[in-house]
Amino acid sequence: MKKIGFLLALAVLMVACTLSSQYSLSGKEPVLPMLLGTWHNAQSTSEIVHIKAFDKETYQLSMLVNDSLKEGFKAHTNTINDQLIFTIEPDNEKQRYGFYMLKIWADSLKMYEITSPFQIKLGKDQEDFKSEKKLKKFLKKYTRSEAMYDDEKLIITLYKH
């Protein structure tokens, strides 16, 4: 997924290009204060994301894009191989969990799609995991590579408001 509108991408759960699964990762981590707040896309002043704590382990995302407010997205984090995995939770039974890697600095947030060479070769967006254990094994394998952080995998860079 090239650098299209972040909020538009979230609105469709951003599963068109990144890893998705019917399974989530257990062991949600506590909400990170550095993720909370209002973020904006430096390339588009009409895109704003507000992240707040829904509970101790879950984020709630509200997005404003072109004066249209989208609310109700929930997400959580897990750490695998010292990489922060951001899981966007489905809002209905037909959707799947979407997985992304985050890099956070003091005032910027970069979101990367997670793909495997298998997905790229076959043009496949979804792995057919048989369990959460297989999902976690996959993430342990493919989140180690520094190639995950090249411009091709970067979806968006956001800055604190």
- The ranges assigned to domains in the chain are 6-160
- Which residue bears the tokens 């496949």? 124
> What pLDDT is attached to residue 72?
81
Give the fold, CATH level 3, of 6-160: Lipocalin (2.40.128)
pLDDT tens for the 161 residues of the chain, in order: 344 445 444 544 444 467 788 889 988 999 999 999 999 987 877 788 899 999 999 999 988 877 788 888 899 999 998 889 999 888 777 778 888 889 898 889 988 888 765 555 444 545 567 889 988 888 888 777 666 666 667 778 888 98
Note the pLDDT of residue 147. Answer: 61
Write down the pTM of the prediction: 0.80
The answer to whether the beta carbons of residues 85 and 76 sit under 8 Å apart is: no
Rounded Cα–Cα distance for residues 75 and 51 (Å): 10
Q: What pLDDT is attached to residue 117?
A: 59
Residue 34 has a pLDDT of 93
Distance in Å from the first CA to the final CA of the chain = 25
Helix (H) or strand (E) segment spanning residue 120: helix 117-122
